């Protein structure tokens, strides 16, 4: 994936929405910039895994029956390998 972006007079860039969505980048996320012989690389700093799980837990809710069904389906899939 590649995009052309413009550097502002303040040295800022905007990461296009399509790339932010693909990389699951959100406001406030930290990025690390590397400069090497090939140019510039911008890489997301890994998020705190525990914080990520807490966020996910708030977004995804399953009741007991749904969890039990997922476990049954998972076991069945493993048995068929």
**Placement of tokens 């069945």 in the chain:** 76
Residue 8 has pLDDT above 90, yes or no: yes
* Number of domains present in the structure of the chain: 1
- pLDDT > 70 fraction of the chain, expressed in percent and rounded: 100
pLDDT for the residue 36: 92
**Placement of tokens 């406001």 in the chain:** 27
Task: Read off the tokens for 62.
Answer: 């399953």
Domain range for residue 41? 17-79
Position 49 in a domain: yes
pLDDT for the residue 14: 95
Q: What is the pLDDT of residues 9-29, one digit of tens each?
A: 999 999 999 999 998 899 999
**Placement of tokens 């998972």 in the chain:** 74
Position 10 in a domain: no
Position 11 in a domain: no
Q: What is the pLDDT of residues 46-73, one digit of tens each?
A: 877 787 778 777 778 888 899 899 999 9
Whether 43 and 32 have beta carbons less than 8 Å apart is answered as: yes
Position 1 in a domain: no
């Amino acid at each position: 994936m590649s995009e052309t972006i413009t550097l502002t007079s303040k040295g800022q860039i905007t990461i296009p929405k399509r790339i932010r969505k693909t990389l699951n980048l959100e406001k406030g996320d930290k990025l690390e910039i590397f400069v090497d012989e090939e140019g510039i690389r911008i890489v997301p700093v890994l998020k705190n895994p525990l914080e990520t799980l807490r966020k996910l837990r708030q977004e995804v809710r399953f009741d007991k029956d749904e969890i039990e069904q997922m476990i049954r389906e998972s076991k069945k899939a493993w048995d068929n390998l």
